[in-house]
Structure 1
Amino acid sequence: MPIFRPRVSVASVCAGALTLSGFAVAGVLAAQPAAAADPAGYQNVRINEVTSSNNDTVELYNAGSASVSISGWKMSDDSFSPQSFSPSASTIPAGGFVTFNSPKGLGDADKLVIYTPGGTVVDRVEWATDKAKPAMARCGGDGTGAWVTTTTAATFGAANAAGCPSSIPAASRVRINEVTSDGSDTVELYNGGTSAVSVGSWKYVDGDTSHSAATISSSSPSATSIPAGGYVTFNSTIGLGDNDSVFLLDSSGNTIDSVTWATDGAKPSDERCANGSGWFQTATTATFGGANSCTGSGGGTGGGTGQLLGGGGALTSGCTPEAPTGTGSSPAGTLAWPGGLDVTIADNVCAFITSTGPEGRDLSGLAFDPANPSVLWAAKNKNWLFKLVKSSGKWIPDPSWSATGKQLHFTGGTGQPDTEGLTVGANGHVYVTSERDNAANTVPKDTIMEFNPAAAGSTLTPLHQWDMTSQFPQLNTGSSADANLGFEGVGYVPDSWLTANGWKDPLTGAAYNPANYPLHGSGLFFAGLEWDGTLHVYGLNSDGTFTTFGAVATGKASVMDVLFDAGTQRVIAICDNTCGETHTLLKVDASGVIVPDVTYTNPAVMPIDNLEGFALAPTATCVNGFREAVWSDDGIYGFGAGTSSSGHALYSGTFPC
């Protein structure tokens, strides 16, 4: 399928400018004698943050799916031999952090190398003068991002968010894409950028610290540049073995990328999956000079970068993309996407054509089923509900439920709800918002409807329907455009979160007590209003009435989707290109009010479209410290008609656990 290439993944991507004249380290960082066996999962441990001031602190991050023992590990810099250090814990949990202070100090321009007890190099980072002040940190994803100098060193022991700039060095778009240790010892580089990159003076070195770096131009075949979207391969002149690494350095000595593998992990090869962007895994067939086959499993660590890979399928006749409208800027203080920046197209072309939407457009709200994370619910404008399941890496309509979706109606089986947002309640029912009746689209009809997805038949009618239209007279102007600015998203928020975080009930002025509202169930519903970006909080009562708890400001001009994420313990409000493709996480503050906490952009490689749906998989699905994030395109426009993304509605990426 077409693949969007991000800027980062789970590799060592280092910034800085240490001169290569100081890189030959024989006699300083001598190869270590054999010792204890390397602990399971050591390849998943990454240096994540380091400072050469403030007690010379180092942070390690475990990007794997299992804990890793670091007992007996050592570190060195560019002037002292490996030394023991005292970490804050002897084991790093999956997705967790460990910090320590360098036993010998770190300099203004220095190098940090981490070893297992057996002397295997785990990871390394180098920096030029003052580049580690206040800190060098991976930005764009813990364990995955590019190395940049931050504005604050206050994130040791926690995620690298504060102080991370949104841009990364252009050289980071070049990635190690495939490597083999089968005797030919071939390395493949991939350029995911939009212009050629000169690499003739770049160097590489393996995990043996007695080896000096070799230039790419002196290797065979010699290479001087990589075209945009292209590959360069060369055979290592320093040899590659089992339990080894490759570190790629630019002409100034900055570490650009790395991969580490265990015994036989690079035989026949170790390759990124997806090509140019994903984790490394052992391949069944080497594919040097071309896209990776991704037919193996397991392997080492590493990440990727890049842009759109062309060559998508042709559009089905009648499937017409709708160009995005309403592009605006991001809120002040917006941070870069915190997850991996790998993004793939995750649906078949023109997969959501219906009788009321023959052009195939308008997939909007998304929600993972908390009781079954292999199910993704999707609302399509013009009254359709889809149950999606994975097939060959794509989200497709579940044929056992309905291969073409089920049509939704208002109470009484009438009308054509303009279905925009959805969420799954504690009872397993799907709650869908509508902002108008498409059969009379100049009149607002802001409702939340409850559907039982287990009901038989090709159409569904609400078990309950709550109509809040009268609360929004500003939408009732006789204009279809104004009527289309109502409830765009909805999220179910459990009472347990509201009470545990001390939410103050706006109706009483005291701490929220669910028992005061005996008919509302076990949570409240936050409906996002596209008109002004506010969230409107409701208790939906079993007798068909509702309780209004007021509005929550998101700091955005609009809201397109809403969800409660148990992993981050936040309510998340989504805005499309109207607000710069952003996700605002909201919390309960010390005074008991729900307020914005932090705002993130989309991964940089994604199109600037009307991306109106967003869902995060539950943390139970986490693999290697990440879980799936899915976006939906309301206009299936991608990067425009004629591109490989045109006609596709779903994009899949990753978010930290």
Structure 2
Amino acid sequence: MPTSHSRAGVASVCAATLTLSGMLLTGVLAAQPAAAADPAGYQNVRINEVSSNGSDTVELYNTGSTAVSISGWKMSDDSFSAQSFSPSAGTIPAGGFVTFNSPKGLGDADKLVIYTSGGTVVDRVDWATDKAKPAMARCGGDGTGAWVTATTATTFGGPNASGCPSSIPAASRVRINEATSDGSDTVELYNGGTSAVSVGSWKYVDGDTSHSAATISSSSPSATSIPAGGYVTFNSTIGLGDNDSVFLLDGSGDTVDSLTWATDGAKPSDERCANGTGWFRTATTATLGSANSCSGSPGGGTGGTPPGQLLGGGGSLTSGCTPEAPSGTGSTPSGTLAWPGGADVTIADNVCAFTTSTGPEGRDVSGLAFDPSNPSVLWAAKNKNWLFKLVKSNGKWIPDPTWSATGKQIRFAGGSGEPDSEGLSVGGNGHLYVTTERDNTDNTKPKDTILEFDPTATGSTLTPIHQWDMTSQFPQLNTGDKDDANLGFEGVGYVPDSWLTANGWVDPLTGAAYNPANYPLHGAGLYFAGLEWDGSLHVYGLNSDGTFTTFGTIATGKSSVMDVTFDAGTQRLVATCDNTCGETHTFMKVNASGAIVPDVTYTNPTVMPTDNLEGFALAPTSTCTGGTREAVWSDDGIYGFGSGSSSSGHALYSGTFPC
């Protein structure tokens, strides 16, 4: 069968006729730009939003982990006559956006093709009458989501979530799931929806703009419908080559999905990981017509190499690293909303990265906190009395070797015991505040404390500057049962006084507006400790003389709390629960009566495993790029999707959250 090749240049000018969904479109194939080297990561750039309502605006998004230069790039509409455009920036940062106004204008029923300066097709989107008004936008994940007509105002220059419809059409649940350019040139489609979708009249075309679109049914007569959760495969009659693409169009001529790869990217195949939802990677074995194996190297096709390793398959564990299966899975509370950030999540640590002398199995990472004074630092607490200072290296969070490559062990006051360290927060003074549930040397008894550590202290073992013991406040935990003792302080968040006073928080001790001056020894904020026992928050002023003030209890509306953080970006206090509450995050506000109450609750991204994800942190807004910032989760069981999956043995996951 014929094979298309890299479009590094078209030598002649010729007439072209393209038939799409009953429409006859004629145009002229203009000479493409002279051959030039394609920039690294070009296949990671995706058309993310386009409008034909007069502004004729186009948005490009970089799904990769490194910036991509778009200098000299061109675009064309249905005439395929490439034109230069003037982007808002000459380089698209990782996870960033660039916009431009089409120099040719875009029609009611039109298409848009983006080329590198060397003439290679980067991406393409087709739409039928009025489908790009107000805009056609990717919904369900910038750069990777389904193409739908936006239902509200356009979101050029930022994430598409606010412009997406609440319900994605059934046809848009169909995704290109795997493709091969090794001679068989086979394409696999997957239906991630809950009902069958008819695809007999659908068409596909490759990245060669001289090729006419072919119907799926003409390539595979039996490929007429895809059942819910099922697959359809067909062999491309127009061929698939190196540096090529597949564009899928529905019966109306609207683009449904696309895949672009560089040289040898689809050999033996390019596949989505996780199956049907994730990024593309080059597979080691094609699995056409069945679930993707997700064994191979990241970065073969669209989506490139996001930070870390992609979720979805093919991992191996080092000796002595033993995952722990999740326990206590419960239902998601009613009224919970979908994750507002990006749909894709990456593995953000090396396998078995947290092995220590008291926990060689490499699990039990719990509390997480970004350092507000240095957001390139992420602090982590491991249950078996260890702290880690993490920094980014090649897209992953690793122990900072200048602080300690293997973490630092912590003790109770006097240098005794092994604190069952769970929660972690950075105070206004830059010190680390850690919550404990027990002393692991006597784990049948609760020991609910908050410990203050100076991270600049030298040595491999840290002892607290102050220790505040609240154990007596929770007699229900002191039953002689180690499981009850393990349901104490699971998380802690430092909340600045400025937020409490600006929002009119009423001091439960006085019944009047909170006045920090009433508590001269407490510093510049209060500490909200989350109790795993019942999901309540307990508010404390931690005094410099070792005493503390108890400000009462706040209900989160959850049965349990695993982490607590104050997010300056949303101006909310966040109470996180793991699989016990359906992997949810409740953002809390001060209401009109001066009480702190739940505002909104979000689930995790759907691609996340349902594990004991006990830590959660949002990067400061100072790190925002393209309208998003990093969100990080920790799994204290390093279970991932189970044995043999790429996530097994890993503790950290990275995603995005709106700025």
* Secondary structure of the corresponding residue to residue 412 of structure 1: helix
Q: Deviations over 1:348-403 (max 9, x none)?
A: 23742432x34443221122233333432221112221223344544333344333
The aligned counterpart of 2:343 is 340
Residue 21 (structure 2) aligned to one of 6, 10, 23? 23
- Distance of 2:596 and 2:561 partners within structure 1: 16
- Distance of 2:522 and 2:270 partners within structure 1: 46
Segments of 5+ residues of structure 2 without an aligned counterpart are 1-17, 34-38, 83-87, 287-293
The aligned counterpart of 2:589 is 587
C-alpha displacement at 1:540, in angstroms? 2.3
Pair 148,635 (structure 1): closer, same or farther in 2 beyond 3 Å: same
Write out aligned runs for 1:265-304 (5 A): none
The aligned counterpart of 1:398 is 400
Residue 328 (structure 2) aligned to one of 325, 339, 344? 325
8 Å contact 1:493–1:525 — kept in the other structure?
A: yes
Q: Deviations over 1:318-359 (max 9, x none)?
A: 73524422433344232145223133363323742432x344
Alignment of 1:566 with 2:606, yes or no, is: no
The aligned counterpart of 1:145 is 145
The aligned counterpart of 2:463 is 461
Write out aligned runs for 1:380-419 (5 A): 380-419=382-421
The aligned counterpart of 1:3 is none
Counterpart amino acid of residue 547 in structure 1 = T
Counterpart amino acid of residue 553 in structure 1 = A
The aligned counterpart of 1:377 is 379
Q: Deviations over 1:82-118 (max 9, x none)?
A: 9xxxxxx999998679999xx99998xx6675989x9
* Secondary structure of the corresponding residue to residue 415 of structure 2: coil
8 Å contact 1:45–1:63 — kept in the other structure?
A: yes
- Distance of 2:461 and 2:26 partners within structure 1: 73
C-alpha displacement at 1:307, in angstroms? 9.0
- Distance of 1:413 and 1:208 partners within structure 2: 69
- Distance of 1:201 and 1:291 partners within structure 2: 33
- Distance of 2:230 and 2:370 partners within structure 1: 34
Pair 25,518 (structure 1): closer, same or farther in 2 beyond 3 Å: farther
- Distance of 1:490 and 1:543 partners within structure 2: 20
Counterpart amino acid of residue 467 in structure 1 = D
Residue 435 (structure 2) aligned to one of 433, 436, 461? 433
8 Å contact 2:174–2:192 — kept in the other structure?
A: no
Write out aligned runs for 1:447-458 (5 A): 447-458=449-460
C-alpha displacement at 1:124, in angstroms? 6.6
8 Å contact 1:61–1:142 — kept in the other structure?
A: no
The aligned counterpart of 2:541 is 539
Pair 414,333 (structure 1): closer, same or farther in 2 beyond 3 Å: same
Pair 257,517 (structure 1): closer, same or farther in 2 beyond 3 Å: farther
The aligned counterpart of 1:86 is none
8 Å contact 1:322–1:635 — kept in the other structure?
A: yes
Q: Deviations over 1:516-575 (max 9, x none)?
A: 444333333222221222333333222223333443333322111122233444332211
8 Å contact 2:424–2:433 — kept in the other structure?
A: yes
Alignment of 1:349 with 2:352, yes or no, is: yes
Pair 399,190 (structure 1): closer, same or farther in 2 beyond 3 Å: farther
Write out aligned runs for 1:254-269 (5 A): 254-258=254-258
8 Å contact 1:186–1:236 — kept in the other structure?
A: no
Counterpart amino acid of residue 23 in structure 1 = S
Write out aligned runs for 1:227-238 (5 A): 237=238
The aligned counterpart of 2:654 is 652
The aligned counterpart of 1:520 is 522
The aligned counterpart of 1:7 is none
- Distance of 1:194 and 1:316 partners within structure 2: 37
Residue 362 (structure 1) aligned to one of 361, 364, 368? 364
Pair 389,159 (structure 1): closer, same or farther in 2 beyond 3 Å: closer
The aligned counterpart of 2:314 is 311
8 Å contact 1:219–1:237 — kept in the other structure?
A: no
* Secondary structure of the corresponding residue to residue 413 of structure 2: coil
Q: Deviations over 1:59-92 (max 9, x none)?
A: 95866899999xxx9998x99x99xxxxxx9999
Alignment of 1:505 with 2:506, yes or no, is: yes
8 Å contact 1:533–1:554 — kept in the other structure?
A: yes
* Secondary structure of the corresponding residue to residue 578 of structure 1: helix
C-alpha displacement at 1:635, in angstroms? 1.9
- Distance of 2:209 and 2:22 partners within structure 1: 9
Counterpart amino acid of residue 587 in structure 2 = L
TM superposition score normalised by structure 1: 0.70
Pair 529,63 (structure 1): closer, same or farther in 2 beyond 3 Å: farther
- Distance of 2:391 and 2:609 partners within structure 1: 24
The aligned counterpart of 1:615 is 617
8 Å contact 2:48–2:142 — kept in the other structure?
A: no
C-alpha displacement at 1:212, in angstroms? 3.7
The aligned counterpart of 2:608 is 606
Q: How many residues align?
A: 612
- Distance of 1:590 and 1:313 partners within structure 2: 52
C-alpha displacement at 1:270, in angstroms? 10
Percent identity, aligned pairs only, is 58
8 Å contact 1:346–1:395 — kept in the other structure?
A: yes
TM superposition score normalised by structure 2: 0.70
- Distance of 1:616 and 1:529 partners within structure 2: 21
Residue 493 (structure 1) aligned to one of 492, 495, 500? 495
Bigger relative CO (Cα 8 Å, ≥ 6 apart): 1
8 Å contact 1:584–1:599 — kept in the other structure?
A: yes
The aligned counterpart of 1:17 is none
* Secondary structure of the corresponding residue to residue 248 of structure 1: strand
Counterpart amino acid of residue 493 in structure 2 = G
C-alpha displacement at 1:434, in angstroms? 0.8
Pair 645,209 (structure 1): closer, same or farther in 2 beyond 3 Å: closer
8 Å contact 1:475–1:483 — kept in the other structure?
A: yes
Write out aligned runs for 1:24-103 (5 A): 27=25, 46-48=47-49
8 Å contact 2:352–2:363 — kept in the other structure?
A: no
Alignment of 1:577 with 2:579, yes or no, is: yes
Counterpart amino acid of residue 329 in structure 1 = T
* Secondary structure of the corresponding residue to residue 402 of structure 1: coil
Higher deviation after alignment, 424-433 or 357-366: 357-366
The aligned counterpart of 1:85 is none
The aligned counterpart of 2:248 is 248
8 Å contact 2:316–2:644 — kept in the other structure?
A: no
C-alpha displacement at 1:463, in angstroms? 0.7
The aligned counterpart of 1:10 is none
Over the residues paired in the alignment, what is the CA RMSD in angstroms?
A: 5.8
C-alpha displacement at 1:579, in angstroms? 1.0
Higher deviation after alignment, 599-608 or 246-255: 246-255
8 Å contact 2:295–2:314 — kept in the other structure?
A: no
C-alpha displacement at 1:462, in angstroms? 0.7
